[in-house]
Structure 1
Amino acid sequence: MAPGLPDAMDRPHFIGIGGAGMSGIAKILAQRGAEVAGSDAKESATAEALRALGATVHIGHAAEHLADDASCVVVSSAIRADNPELTRAAELGIPVVHRSDALAALMDGLRPIAVAGTHGKTTTTSMLAVSLSELGLYPSYAIGGDLDAPGSNALHGDGEIFVAEADESDRSFHKYAPEVAIVLNVELDHHANYASMEEIHESFETFADRIVPGGTLVISADHEGARELTRRLGTKVRTVTYGEADDADVRVLSVVPQGLRSEVTVLLDGERITFTVSVPGRHYAHNAVAALAAGAALGVPAAELAPALAAYTGVKRRLQLKGEAAGVQVIDSYAHHPTEMTADLEAMRAAADDARILVVFQPHLFSRTQELGKEMGEALALADASVVLDIYPAREDPIPGVTSELIIDAARAAGADVTPVHDKAEVPEVVAGMARGGDLVLTMGAGDVTDLGPLILDRLMK
C-alpha cells in the first residue's frame, strides 16, 4: 500500500488549483483523504473533476477563499507575490509550500521514476503510467497533461511505483530523489530562468545527483545535450543510455511508420524486442524506448512492458485528433519550442502521405520568442502554409520589440507561406478559406490556441 498523507497537508489550499501540475497533486491528496481546497482564475473541466473528488474549488482569487484553518498553502512559481490569498496566508501564519515540495512529499516512501528533459516529459510519463497500469502494478502518477479525460493527469495508486513529470523550468526538479530518473534531452529553454547552456547543464547535473544510491539514470545517447550531461556525470551514477547511436545500451534498431502508429525494434541486454507505439513519429518512438529502459531499470521485465506500451494511445494536446469536417482533419499540438515543432511536423508529414499540412501557431512567452523566434519560423517552413497569432504571454510581461513578426519574418525568409492574424476570433474563417478536403490542420502552441480546434471544425462544417 502507498503511504498516507504527508505531514501538514491534510487541509491544503492550492492557489491556481486548475493548472496541470497543481491539479494533479491536489487530486492525489484528495484521493488520500485530504480536505482539499483551492482557487483558479476560471471555471474548467479540471475544476469540475476536482469537485467530483470532494475538493472545494473557488473561481477567482480572493483573500476570503482561504480558510483560516488551512494546514498549508500550495503555490507554483507562476503565482505572483501580491496574490491576495498568498498575502492572507502570511497574515494568518499559514505555511506556504511550493508545488515541487508537495509532490516530493507524495513520493516519499515509494519507488519514484522522475521524467525530465526539455521535450517529451508528458508523453514519456504518460507511457509509463499507462503501461505499468496495464501490467497491474497500480502506480501512482502525476503528469503535465490529461490522458483521456479532465483530471486524468494524476492518480493515487496502491502500488509501490510513483511516476512523475519532473519540471526543469524553475529548477523544481531538484527537490525529487528518484530511484530511476529519465533525461530525454537537454536544450536551452525557459530563458527567464536560465541564461546559458552551462546553467542548464548544471541544473540537470544537480537533478542527476539527487538519484538515490543504487538508482539509475536513463538518458538519450542521440541528443548532444544529453551526451554532454553523461560525460559530465562520469561514474557518479549508474547510467543506461538509449537511442540509435552505436554505443547506446538500449539500442533502437528500427522505427517503421505504420500510418499513425510505429513498429519499434530495440536491442536490450542482447535480446531483440519488437513492439508497437500507438502514436506517430520517431520522437514518440524514442520516448517509448526511454520508458521501456526505465521500467527495466526498476525491475519490470522488458518483454512484458514492451507490449504493454501499445496501450498508450496519446495524451491531450500531443498530436490529438480533435475531429474531421469537410474532409479536413484538425489535430492539436502542444509544441512550442522549435525542436518540438519540427518533430511534430515531421511526424505528421511521415503519417499523412501527400496531405497538405496547415498550421495555426501561437508563440508562447515573450522570452522564448526573443531567443528562438528565428528557429520557430524555420520550423514552420515544414508546413505547406501557416497562420501565426500574437504571442501568448502566460506569466510574462511584454518585452519591447518582441512580437510575432520575429517568427513571421524568419518563416518567410525560409520560404514559408505565412499569414499573420492578430484577432484570434478571425482564425476559423481564415483557415476555412485556406483548407480543402484531405488537408491536415494543426493548432500548435502551449497557450489557448487549443480552443480554436472545435471552432475551426464548426466553421468547416458550414
Structure 2
Amino acid sequence: MNPHNAGLESPGSLESLGKVHFIGVGGVGMSAVARIMVARGVPVSGSDAKDLPVMADLAAAGARIAVGYDAANLGDAQTVVAGSAIRADNPELAAARQAGLPVLHRSEALAATMGEDLVVTVAGTHGKSTTTSMVTVLLQGAGLDPSFAIGANVPALGVNAAHGNSGIFVAEADESDGSFLNYRPRIAVVTNVEPDHLDHYGTAEAVYESFDRFTALLPADGVLVACADDAGALALAERTRERGNTRVVLYGTRAGSDLVLHDDGPGKVWVSGPAGRHGLSLQVPGRHNALNAAAAFAVALELGVEPAAAAAALADFSGAARRFELKGSARGVRVFDDYAHHPTEVRAALTAARSVAGEHKVHVLFQPHLFSRTREFAREFAEALNLADTALVLDIYPAREDPIPGVSSQLIADHLGAGGRLVPASDAVAALADAAKEGDIVLTAGAGDVTVYGPLIVEALRA
C-alpha cells in the first residue's frame, strides 16, 4: 500500500477522494483511470510533459488538462495520483507533498473507482492486456456492459477504459511493482507466473510470494481462474486450493483441467468442460492466444454467460495494440509489432509468426528493455530469438534504469545463432527490408520505442 494515502478514509470510496489531479495523465494506465473517474462524476484535472492525443479526449469529457508540469496545475485538488515514472522532484508532486495532500498510486485510484462492482482482475507475467481485452470484448458481445481498464489500447473497443452499467469491472492487474495487491477481486485470472521485474522483487521467491498474497485476497465466494499449462500458475493454484480460501478453476491443454483447451492450429480451436464442447473462432494466432481465449471463456461462464454466446463473442476480438499487431505490408511481406519483452513472450510471438509465415521466413528486430532484465535473461532471450531466420538486436532501451557496468546487448548476441547479430539503430530498417522476401514475416519486438520501426520497414519495402 502507498504510505502517502494516510489522509484518506479509504481508497475504496470515490467520494472520499474529492477533486483528483493526475500527474502524468497521458500514460495509457493513468488516462484509463482518469477516463473512468470523469465518467463517474469525479472532478478531474491532469498534466503531462507532452501533449498526447488522449489528453484532448479527457478535456472533451470534462477534465481540466495542462501540458507541462507546474505546481499551479494542482489548483484546488484534494487527492493526487502520480504515475510510476514521475520523479520525486516533479514540481507538482513536491507541491502536493508539501501541502500534505494524499498521493495515490494509480492502482489505488483505480481500486477506488471500482466501488461496489463485481471485480474481475487479470494478472500474470505475460498476456494480461490481451486476456483483459478478450474478457471485455466477450462480455460486451454477450450483451453485458462492463466497466474496464486495460494497459493497452484495444482497436475492437476503441478505448482502453470505459465506465459501464452492468456492475462488473474488468481490470488488468499489474504485478510489476506489487500494486496488484490493492484490488479486491471476486474473480482473479492468473495467466502465468514467472520470475520478472527482479529490479523490484529481488528474487524469484518474492515474485511467487506476491502472487500468493494476491490469491489470498479472494473471498470464499470468489474464484481463481489459473492456467494449468504454466508451471508457476499451476503451482499457485495448488497452493491456493490447499489454503482453501476460495474456489479454483483450471484451464489449459492439460488433462484434468476444468476447462480443457484443444488447439490443433488456426481454425481448429475448441474448449470442453461441464458446459459441453464449444469451438472458438479466433482472429489472433498462437497457442498463447488460444490459452488467453480459454481464460476469457472461463470468466464468462463464471458470470453466467451462455457458452455459445461466449464462444461467438470471442470472434470479435482482433487483438490489442502492440500484441502481434499488423503494421502494414509491402512486396508480399507482412510487418507485425509486439510488446514482447521477456523471453517467454518473445518465444510466443515468434512461434505465432512462424504459424503465420508457413514455409516462408521470419525476421525479428528485438530491442531489450531494461539493463537488469537483460542481465538476468540474456541467454534465454537469445534462445528465443534463434527461432527466427534473422534476429537483429538493438541496444538496450533503459526506461527507468541507469546503465549497469558490463551489461549490454552483447550479452544476448554472444548466444545468437548464424542468423543473429547486433545492429546499429541506423542500419536496422535497411537490413530487414533487404532480408525479407515475398511471403516472409517481419516482427519488431520489445517494450521500448522499437514500435516506431514497423512503419519505417513497410516504407523501405515499398521503396
Category of TM-score, reference length = shorter chain: over 0.9
7, 13, 23: which one pairs with 2:31? 23
**How far did residue 435 of structure 1 move?**
2.3
Q: CA RMSD in A?
A: 1.8
**How far did residue 457 of structure 1 move?**
1.6
**How far did residue 243 of structure 1 move?**
0.7
Letter in 2 for 1:102: A
State which drifts further: 179-188 or 87-96.
Answer: 87-96
**How far did residue 62 of structure 1 move?**
3.0
197, 209, 219: which one pairs with 1:212? 219
Partners of 1:116 and 1:182 within 8 A in 2? yes
Long gaps (5+) in structure 2: 1-11
| Identity level (%) | 50
Partners of 2:218 and 2:245 within 8 A in 1? no
Letter in 1 for 2:438: G
Q: Distance in 2 between matches of 1:50 and 1:449?
A: 27
Can you list the C-alpha shifts for 1:276-325, whole angstroms capped at 9, x where unaligned?
Answer: 12200111000010111112122222232121111111111000101112
Q: Output aligned runs, 1:122-133, within 5 Å.
A: 122-133=129-140
Q: Output aligned runs, 1:30-429, within 5 Å.
A: 30-67=38-75, 69-148=76-155, 152-233=159-240, 234=242, 235-252=244-261, 254-258=262-266, 262-269=267-274, 271-411=276-416, 415-422=417-424, 424-429=425-430
**How far did residue 270 of structure 1 move?**
5.4
Change (3 A) 1:47 1:360: farther
Letter in 1 for 2:82: V
Aligned pair count reads: 450
Partners of 1:124 and 1:291 within 8 A in 2? yes
Can you list the C-alpha shifts for 1:126-177, whole angstroms capped at 9, x where unaligned?
Answer: 0011111112211000001001189711011111111000011111111111
**How far did residue 51 of structure 1 move?**
3.0
Partners of 1:173 and 1:207 within 8 A in 2? yes
Q: Distance in 2 between matches of 1:194 and 1:224?
A: 20
Q: Which residue of 1 aligns with 2:460?
A: 459
Q: Distance in 1 between matches of 2:415 and 2:59?
A: 45
Q: Distance in 1 between matches of 2:343 and 2:130?
A: 17
Q: Distance in 1 between matches of 2:341 and 2:387?
A: 15
**How far did residue 123 of structure 1 move?**
0.4
Letter in 2 for 1:245: R
State which drifts further: 300-309 or 342-351.
Answer: 300-309
**How far did residue 425 of structure 1 move?**
4.2
Can you list the C-alpha shifts for 1:96-116, whole angstroms capped at 9, x where unaligned?
Answer: 111111111111210110000
22, 47, 66: which one pairs with 1:14? 22
Change (3 A) 1:427 1:147: same
Letter in 2 for 1:406: L
Letter in 1 for 2:26: G
2:450 is the alignment partner of 1:449: yes
Can you list the C-alpha shifts for 1:174-195, whole angstroms capped at 9, x where unaligned?
Answer: 1111110001110000011122
Q: Distance in 1 between matches of 2:156 and 2:19?
A: 26
Can you list the C-alpha shifts for 1:228-283, whole angstroms capped at 9, x where unaligned?
Answer: 1122221232000111111211111x21323xxx4322112151111212200111
Q: Distance in 2 between matches of 1:268 and 1:150?
A: 29
Partners of 1:188 and 1:194 within 8 A in 2? no
Partners of 2:259 and 2:271 within 8 A in 1? yes
Question: TM-score scaled by structure 1?
Answer: 0.93
Question: TM-score scaled by structure 2?
Answer: 0.93
Partners of 2:286 and 2:355 within 8 A in 1? yes
Partners of 2:188 and 2:215 within 8 A in 1? yes
Partners of 2:219 and 2:246 within 8 A in 1? no
Partners of 1:143 and 1:154 within 8 A in 2? yes
Partners of 2:227 and 2:250 within 8 A in 1? yes
Partners of 1:77 and 1:170 within 8 A in 2? no
Letter in 2 for 1:394: A
**How far did residue 410 of structure 1 move?**
1.7
Q: Distance in 1 between matches of 2:377 and 2:54?
A: 31
State which drifts further: 390-399 or 38-47.
Answer: 38-47
Q: Distance in 2 between matches of 1:461 and 1:56?
A: 43
Q: Distance in 1 between matches of 2:154 and 2:458?
A: 22
**How far did residue 416 of structure 1 move?**
4.1
Partners of 1:381 and 1:417 within 8 A in 2? yes
**How far did residue 42 of structure 1 move?**
2.4
Tell me the SS of whatever aligns to 1:112: strand
**How far did residue 391 of structure 1 move?**
0.8
Partners of 2:195 and 2:207 within 8 A in 1? yes
Letter in 1 for 2:47: S
**How far did residue 340 of structure 1 move?**
0.5
Partners of 2:35 and 2:58 within 8 A in 1? yes
Change (3 A) 1:129 1:405: same
Partners of 1:180 and 1:298 within 8 A in 2? no
Letter in 2 for 1:388: V
Letter in 1 for 2:274: D
Tell me the SS of whatever aligns to 2:121: strand
Change (3 A) 1:149 1:263: closer
